[in-house]
Copies of this chain bind each other. A is one copy, B any other.
Amino acid sequence: MSQGVEWGLHCATLLAQVPDGALVRREKLAQHYGLPEPYLAKHLQALVRADVLRAVSGPRGGYGLARAPELINALDVVEAIEGSAPAFTCKEIRQAGTGALSPEQCLRPCVINSVMTQADNAWRSSLRSVTIADLTHRLPKWVRKHNVDVLTEGA
């Protein structure tokens, strides 16, 4: 899995901690976690397109959450960066080779595909059950204070 997921999750959680939904510049965001700014830009763009973050150009611009942190879950962030395609894709090999089944014999979905899909759904449900707000609340409050202090210093 792409490390951009970790970046996106951390950035979204961080943006949920700034007071009054203030905007944070990309440079500041990158420096806060020691990330390469040009590449981080790519992932932030994906998050904006997925309506997880909002971006404002120009001076006093930057990034912020597009919605209330209670309305954004971890799956939103992960899918924005990794895409929503399931990790497992059935190639229907049961329809190939000497043991091939005809298309009429394959009206029922492949049992292996079903099992993998079920596992994928369990994974997605787990991520969907956690919101960005949950993530911030699980942080010790002195960590939240630390983050806000770092972000607002020199502002």
Contacts and interface: CB of A to CB of B under 8 A. Distances in A.
A155 interface: no
A126 interface: yes
Interface in A16-63: 30-35
Contacts of A70: none
Interface string A86-107: 0111110110111111000100
26 contacts: A1-B87, A1-B89, A3-B91, A5-B88, A6-B88, A9-B115, A9-B116, A30-B97, A31-B98, A32-B98, A33-B94, A33-B96, A34-B96, A35-B96, A74-B115, A99-B147, A99-B150, A111-B135, A115-B127, A118-B126, A119-B123, A119-B124, A119-B127, A120-B123, A121-B126, A123-B123
